[in-house]
Amino acid sequence: LWLIYLPWHFPLHKDITIQGASEKAENSDKILLYQVGDFFEVFNDDAKTVAEMLASAEETEPEDKETALELIEKLKQENKTIGLLPTMGALHQGHLSLAKRAKEENDVLICSVFVNPIQFNNKEDLEKYPRDLETDIKLLESINCDVVFAPSAEEVYAEEPTEKYTFGALEEVLEGPQRPGHFNGVATIVHKLFNWSKADKAYFGEKDYQQVFLIEQMVKTLNFPVQIVRCPIIREESGLALSSRNAYLSEEERQNALSIYKGLLAAKAAFAKGERSETKLRNLVIQ
């Protein structure tokens, strides 16, 4: 699947230019064109439709050819504050709670939607990761998100990354040993997103506590001029934390997943009542 965003990241609620689309069309299996919030799906074997769409889009090509990068530069010059919400899409209410907060706390909200291949160390996980950009865009529009970055992997990694991010002793704990390359993959894309967006604040959910922690470390160590905002976990009524990957779970697995939260709550309640035995508290969690 090839996504064409011209400019490749585009402001919502604004016309986009489609200059250069025809060259890319020739090399694509499948093309998605966005225009003023409309969603068109065009297949390569239907060359006539592609040609017609490009022709009609050219006719309506807007005067304003500002790209998102130019827009961001302009916003910075106007001293507008920028909030960034990095996501891998398949958005749910958890993401939207972060987006709403970012929107409230900044003049402009930029949301990135990018399934970052280099943070997956399992090919199957990457391939089956849920993707539904059309719905994501509708959800983001519903909360008046200003800009969506939705680049393709070819664009993001046109140049092979040369930096490697390491997190010292943290590499040996948390998920470090089980997911080699994961921390580096997250740090690489988050660094790129900070650079592109020039965000004043970036929003991360505490659902992935490890990730927020690593990013805070990175920001501190490398002195990034961005404030990391931690946002609380949003749960289903059952107590299960909302996650795009919940879509993979069977009913039985959902119940199993829920037992982690139930166990933690049981330990918390016992601790509040004065229990201080580490073994007893641990057993309450893993029972």
Question: Where in the sequence numbering do the catalytic residues fall?
Answer: 95
Q: How far is the CB of 112 from ligand PAF (least distance, A)?
A: 7
CB-count exposure of residue 145 (10 Å: 0-12, 13-18, 19+): buried
CB closer to ligand PAF out of 80 and 207: 207
Geometric angle at alpha carbon 228, from 239 and 261, rounded to 5°? 15
Q: How far is the CB of 86 from ligand PAF (least distance, A)?
A: 4
- Which helix (H) or strand (E) covers residue 84, if one does? strand 82-87
- Show the 3-state SS of 145-198: CCEEECCCHHHHCCCCCCCCCCCHHHHHCCCCCCCCCHHHHHHHHHHHHHHHHC
CB closer to ligand PAF out of 148 and 186: 186
Beta bridge partners of 35: 38
CB closer to ligand PAF out of 75 and 187: 187
CB closer to ligand PAF out of 17 and 211: 211
Cβ atoms < 10 Å from Cβ of 192:
18
Q: By the 8 A CB rule, do 5 and 16 touch?
A: yes
CB closer to ligand PAF out of 7 and 86: 86
Distance CA 27, CA 172 (A): 43
CB contact set of 67 (below 8 Å; sequence gap of 6+): 7, 9, 10
CB closer to ligand PAF out of 35 and 211: 211
Q: How far is the CB of 238 from ligand PAF (least distance, A)?
A: 22
Reduce the DSSP state of residue 100 to 3 states and report it: helix
Cβ atoms < 10 Å from Cβ of 186:
22
Q: How far is the CB of 186 from ligand PAF (least distance, A)?
A: 5
Q: By the 8 A CB rule, do 171 and 183 touch?
A: yes
Q: How far is the CB of 56 from ligand PAF (least distance, A)?
A: 35
Distance CA 119, CA 210 (A): 14
Among 230, 229, 241, CA closest to 265 = 241
- Residues in contact with ligand PAF by CB under 6 A are 86-88, 116, 119, 186, 189-190, 208, 211
